[in-house]
A and B are shown apart, each in its own frame.
Chain A
Amino acid sequence: MIIEISHFLSIMATGLFFLVGYFALFTPATNSAYLSNLISRTYSHGFLFLICSFLIYIWLAITDNFSVEYIANHSNTALPTFYKISSIWSAHEGSMFLWIVFLSLWGFIFNLSVKNEEILKAKSIGIISLVIVGFLVFLLATSNPFSTILPIPPMNGADINPVLQDPALAIHPPTLYLGYVGFVIPFACAISFLLEGKSSIKWEALARKWSVAAWVFLTIGITLGSWWAYYELGWGGYWFWDPVENVALMPWLAATAFVHSLSVSIKSSQLRVWTILLSILVFSLSLFGAFIVRSGIIDSVHSFANDPERGLYLLVFIGLIIFISISLFVLRISSIKSKLTIKKFSKQSFISINNIIFGTLIFSVILGVTYPLIYEYLYDQKISIGAPFYNAIFIPIVLLASFFLFFSVDSKWSRNTSLSFLKTPIYLSLMLSIISTIFVMIFFNTKNIPILLSVFAGLLIIFRYIYEIINHFIYKKFINPFSVIAHVSLGLLIVSISFNSLLSTERAMNIYINQYEEYKDLKILFQDIGVEEKSNYDSIKAKFLVEDLKGNKFNLNPEKRKYFTRGQITTETAIYVTPLRDIYMTIGDQLDDGSWIVNIQINYLIRWIWISAILMGLAGIMLIFSKRYRA
């Protein structure tokens, strides 16, 4: 009975959201106070119904109600409550449900915090509602999380995939989803602006806070995913250019370009047309991500077990959204007044360059993701595109971007700046970076040009901003703290990635109990290995004693687990973390002669990759709560 209530509530919500969309977009005089009030209230009720439906669903999961087919397939009585809840987003139906709930949550907060008098509000709410309706119909018609196993439900559930029983994974998808769907707000604002057709309305100011917030969630969500894959999957890296990672990277790149060009549009009414196009692009790429992951058209470690019907629905729906918004854009483009001239070497000019650069990156990632599909269609030959392609594209372009960023620090809004190498901050940071890079080259004895150039580029950014910071504290020169933190983090990210790829090493070795091995500066002793029986898995746990150059001794206990319910085997990595490097160990199989295969990696600066990404997100959070955004 309670299942049907939950199901019924979400159907009711679909109906209410449809009404909101209808009232907001297809009735005349939307701007009357009565109607906008009605729209706002109806939306809130729709959200209330949907959130209640979802809360009941969580309750069903917590209380192990295995009459629900989805819960029976993905949860288990032995799971801790925390994972019973997170099992909801461990597969397609439930995660889609969460995705939609978040979509409506953004709309709800927007609805609460924007006054009804705001001219674009009613239409924006209407657009958000129609998007929600499209996805709710998709959920209920093709991937119903409420379908039941009757009359006799199974005694116990099939259990969540063990690699997903992890705190980082429990919070990574929700954070990422909040990022993806958050871009519905700027999208809705832009579309309602186009519908309204009055160039004087400042939709950009309305959308600003929301865009940055969604960007923050996306940034942190991607970082969490990267960190999880590192320690849980035993892959030992931070990025694999897997199609699904790319699918998250594309909206991130587009969103980064978008928040930059948004600031230009707000500041000086330039790039307005371009900003609208970007807002459509960001949201379309987020939806494209949902399509790629859920249609199964691309082979990826993240793919959900697939179903062509779902793919088709999503493709048609997303295609419709893109088609309508682009047509509207083309129809209304001439009525948007945007100042055309951008002064050479002004802040605006650098942001335009930033946008071109990001556009190129997005285009190449889109190509990398879709090219295999096109190629297979044309030549009937399956291909795949891996890291070499992306490295060939990203390294030179990011280097270029860094140099532009370096010079942009000096630039002013709407004013010419002379580009001179003779200015103190410029030649000082250039010299410092060159000296440090030469030092790196000699100290690590490397002639790897791309890496040395990247180190140079990253340091250039860092030194340039350090100069600004010092200047600020001594001479009280104005700095934008958010820009400084975000860009220094970018510099830090580039430097960390470069050092990581320059210095990190790994080796698979064959080792007997009580054997002693040396690898780089590490002395490794294989002390013991044993089997332990836990509540829901058997574990093979090895004990290693490792000593590094400084004489620090530590234990590494890599583990292999075999889970009872699914018979699945997982690797538990053992990691010794120091500020500069991780000692990372996984254990493989036992050979016939009794020895074990062990993989050991030394990963340099890998923590700093995540720290700099999180710092970037932090800059965004500070920006949202800052004075300049309170207006």
Chain B
Amino acid sequence: MNSIRKKRIYNICLVILFSISGVGLILYSLNSNLDYFFTPTELKNKTIPVDKRIKVGGMVLKGSVERISSKVSFTITDYENSVNVEYDGIVPDLFKEESGVVVLGYLKNQMVFAEEVLAKHDENYMPPSLKIVNDN
């Protein structure tokens, strides 16, 4: 094997090594930073660690919104099951009863303590998974 070839193979190995470790690191950081998304029904059959951040999506149940001081509590439903949510802060403009919502937070004693409440800014828009629920 001549030296140019040797060098080339060495370079290629180096590139492959770096790419694999790069992709590995990205995938690792991906897996440690993702949030699982559940509907209330899916949540019912699962045990989730208290320190695992999750997303819960569904419709805001009619008549469930209550405000105590700066806290707001409401119930997310998919018209089969539902789950209670508590949130400290200002809910977005499009947050209203019987309208789609996604919350990001932690599950403790069958109650979601939300860090973030999201509503969609296209009022006709609905997450595809909920659309199916609604059509039935």
Contacts and interface: CB of A to CB of B under 8 A. Distances in A.
B41 to A, nearest CB: 13
B122 interface: yes
Interface in A140-171: 161, 163
B55 A599 contact: no
Given A360-B22, A510-B69, A568-B123, A386 B33 contact: yes
Contacts of B69: 510, 591
B34 interface: yes
B35 A368 contact: no
B90 A385 contact: no
Contacts of A560: 93
B85 to A, nearest CB: 16
Contacts of A360: 22, 26
B29 interface: yes
Given A234-B93, A384-B37, A589 B67 contact: yes
A161 B122 contact: yes
Contacts of B96: 569
A442 interface: no
A296 B122 CA distance: 12
Contact of B121 (A301, A371, A586, A588): A301
B67 A385 contact: no
Interface in B22-55: 22-23, 26-27, 29-30, 33-38, 55
B67 A163 contact: no
Interface residues of A, number: 45
A301 B26 CA distance: 26
A525 to B, nearest CB: 19
Contacts of B55: 382, 384
A592 B26 contact: no
Given A388-B33, A389-B34, A566 B26 contact: no
Contact of B33 (A372, A389, A508, A570): A389
Given A371-B34, A383-B35, A586-B90, A389 B70 contact: no
Contacts of B34: 371-372, 375, 383-385, 389
Contacts, number: 102
A599 B33 contact: no
B97 interface: no
Interface in A17-49: none
Nearest to B38: A382
A363 interface: yes
Interface string A227-247: 000000110000000000000
Interface in A561-610: 566, 568-571, 586, 588-589, 591-592, 597, 599
A173 to B, nearest CB: 14
B36 A383 contact: yes
A368 B30 contact: yes
Contact of B70 (A570, A592, A597): A597
A381 B125 CA distance: 21
Chain B CB count within 10 A is highest, among A161, A163, A363, A364, for A364
Contacts of A589: 67, 72, 90-91
Contacts of A569: 93-94, 96
Nearest to B27: A367
Nearest to B128: A296
A404 interface: no
Nearest to A371: B30
B3 interface: no
A381 B52 CA distance: 15
Given A299-B127, A383-B37, A508 B26 contact: no
A161 B123 contact: yes
Interface string A381-419: 111111011001100000000000000000000000000
A549 interface: no
A303 interface: yes
B109 interface: no
Given A360-B22, A384-B55, A568-B94, A389 B122 contact: no
Interface of A: 161, 163, 233-234, 296, 299, 301, 303-306, 360, 363-364, 367-368, 371-372, 375, 381-386, 388-389, 392-393, 508-510, 560, 566, 568-571, 586, 588-589, 591-592, 597, 599
10 contacts: A301-B118, A360-B22, A367-B30, A381-B36, A382-B36, A385-B35, A392-B29, A569-B96, A571-B93, A588-B91
Nearest 6 Cβ contacts at the A-B interface? A382-B37, A588-B90, A389-B33, A388-B33, A392-B29, A508-B89
Given A301-B121, A381-B36, 15 more contacts: A233-B121, A304-B125, A364-B26, A371-B30, A383-B34, A383-B35, A383-B36, A385-B34, A389-B33, A389-B34, A392-B29, A508-B90, A568-B94, A570-B93, A589-B67
